[in-house]
Amino acid sequence: MKTAAPEPTKERLAERKGPFTTISGRPIERLYTPDDIRSLDYARDLGNPGDFPYTRGIHPTGYRGKLWTMRQFAGFGTPEETNERYKQLLRAGGTGLSVAFDLPTLMGRDPDHELSLGEVGKCGVNITSLADMETLFDGIELGGITTSMTINSPAPMIYAMYLVVAEKQALRHGSGQGAWQNLSGTIQNDILKEFIAQKEYIYPPRPSMRLITDIFTFSAREVPKWNTISVSGYHIREAGATAAQELAFTLRDGVEYVQYGIDAGLDVDEFAPRISFFFNSHSDFFEEIAKYRAARRIWAHVMRDRFKAKNPRSWQLRFHTQTAGVSLTAQQPYNNVVRTALQALAAVLGGSNSLHTNSLDEALALPTAEAATLALRTQQIIAHESGVTNVVDPLGGSYFVEKLTRDMEEEALAYFDTIDRMGGMVEAIERGYPQREVAESSYRFQQSVEKREKVIVGVNDFVAENEAPIEILYIDESAAEKQLAKLETLKRTRDNEAVTRTLGALRDGARGSANTMPLLIDAVRAYATVGEMCDALRDVWGEYEETPII
């Protein structure tokens, strides 16, 4: 039977003015038929959920077994204020925590640093020392929840703080031994995407990779259930990459981390099961779903065939998703509720293991409590009312989705080849390759929006005149004042000799080949600050300065 799509005639089958492309610019056919997936082999290319290559998911029971973790990213102002927001989110039904840190913390600066002025508590919570971390989780049992921390350059310091808080909590209930053995959570700890997209780097690439492999080694033994890295595409996408670039650069970053871990002396199966991923969920519904399915298939082959991992858990890609911040509009903000819902649904249909949904006001400010609750409710409605969780990988077998999955996989593998030929991702970054790809894509997208080839509702079409402003969360300087006061007290009351000693040991260890984690834990216990610990390493490695690519 002929299944090719009939050609349009002038009267019948006339189409609107094209082009018909995804938001990434990928052309889409009008119709997909069995011809498009003629070479698809179920066992080889798909497998059942839980079977290699995991295209259909890593768990046989999917969401029937366990819903994705509803993990809302949150943080602002002081640790006290954020602690309150975490408790609100948990009361509202959130099932995991996710910490947003402010820019001083992210950049390894204390609140009293010149560059921190005006920045404390504005984009996330300020964490200056272990004392702040203890306050952040006051009344929250770390043994009973998983926390993801979006921290990169100072990830080792923040991770060390979390470990010490968990240990102190466990000691308080008399279960001090083995507090870390069962502790689960995630640190983002993905420096490569900082060089490519988010730009929260401190040290140059190679010392940064050393800090990461130190964490792999340390955690494999001491914190075996901890996800030591969340290899991220979210930020690369937000910076302007296409879906295929997001997929390719993220997974190739993953390949780089695995190689560096092996080069640091680890057996691949010792640390690979604890690598996790973090993707964007953008506006083109089917492109995103195909992206997630392609990601699982690509990674399964990379781990089994390229790295010869033996443990199936090393082959299984687990990922968190966040709906696309960059798609939110300042105009007609309530439209963002709809955008987020569709993007969340795409992530669910793609089998995301964890999900953050953005709030309607996030093109304007950090979310209000009401907006944050509505974002969580969006997930709960999908989970409990839509019925999509009754079946695993419901779109499996769709001519369109399987073709798109295959196309995205091929495009990603082509990028792998290019980067492999450059000598790896670190080398590619040093040459500016991924940065240039992202800059090109972002400019092309902006041009298409300005030419109205891409409609953004409320922005370049369906515009409203004289919109009434909505109430937003305004963060003033009181957080900075409080954190500065605490810092001043801390420096007076802690054992400064211990701080000096542990920072000295950290510098010495960093200059040599010692694992930096135990040294950082010592400094953290002495209440050394984030700035002090990061500066100690700045003394050893200096700071990275990028050559900007427009």
Q: Which residues bind another protein (CB under 8 A)?
A: 103-104, 106-107, 109, 114-119, 122-123, 194, 198-200, 238-240, 326, 329-331, 363-365, 439, 442-443, 446, 450, 456, 459-460, 469, 472, 474-475, 545-546, 548-550
Q: Which is nearer to another protein, 201 or 315 (CB)?
A: 201
Residue 224 φ/ψ, nearest 5 degrees:
-65, -20
Compute the least distance from the CB of residue 120 to another protein, in Å.
9
Question: Residue 105 Cβ, how far from another protein at the closest point, in Å?
Answer: 10
Least distance (Å) from another protein to the CB of residue 240? 5
C-alpha 275, offset from chain centre: 12
Q: What does DSSP assign to residue 37?
A: G
Nearer to another protein, 28 or 459 (CB): 459
Nearer to another protein, 265 or 469 (CB): 469
CB of 194 to another protein, least distance (A): 8
Helices (H), 92-204: 103-106, 130-136, 155-172, 192-193
Cα angle vertex 185, ends 166, 480, to 5°? 70
* 3-class state of residue 463 by DSSP: coil
In single-letter form, the type of residue at position 514 comes to: A
Helices and strands (H and E) in the chain: how many: 21, 9
Using DSSP bridges, classify how beta strands 319-323 and 96-100 pair: parallel, antiparallel or unpaired: unpaired
Strands 226-227 and 185-187: parallel
> Between 4 and 550, whose beta carbon lies closer to another protein?
550
Nearer to another protein, 119 or 167 (CB): 119
- Asked if omega into 312 is within 30° of 0 (cis), the reply is no
Q: Which is nearer to another protein, 98 or 441 (CB)?
A: 441
CB of 250 to another protein, least distance (A): 17
Shortest Cβ distance from residue 125 to another protein (Å)?
A: 13
Place of tokens 């050893």: 540
- 24 vs 379 by CB, closer to another protein: 24
State the Cα–Cα distance between residues 198 and 189, nearest whole angstrom.
12
Give 81 or 270: the residue with its C-beta nearer to another protein. 81
Please state the closest distance from residue 377 (CB atom) to another protein, in A: 25
The CB-of-60 to another protein minimum distance in angstroms stands at 40
What's the rounded Cα separation, in Å, for the pair 152 and 202? 9
Q: Are 544 and 204 a contacting pair, CB within 8 Å?
A: yes
Between 88 and 442, name the residue whose CB sits nearer to another protein.
Answer: 442
CB of 123 to another protein, least distance (A): 5
Q: Which is nearer to another protein, 372 or 526 (CB)?
A: 372
Is the bond leading into 19 cis (omega within 30 degrees of zero)? yes
CB of 546 to another protein, least distance (A): 7
Bridge partners of residue 355, in order along the sequence: 70, 321
Strand partners, 150: 100
Q: What is the DSSP string of 362-412?
A: TTTSSPPHHHHHHHHHHHHHHHHHS-GGGSSSTTTT-HHHHHHHHHHHHHH
Report the C-alpha gap between 101 and 74 in whole angstroms. 9
Q: Are 203 and 175 in contact (CB under 8 A)?
A: no
User: CB 532 → another protein: shortest distance, Å?
Assistant: 17
Cβ-based nearer residue to another protein, 71 or 122 = 122
Cα(464)–Cα(546) distance, integer angstroms: 41
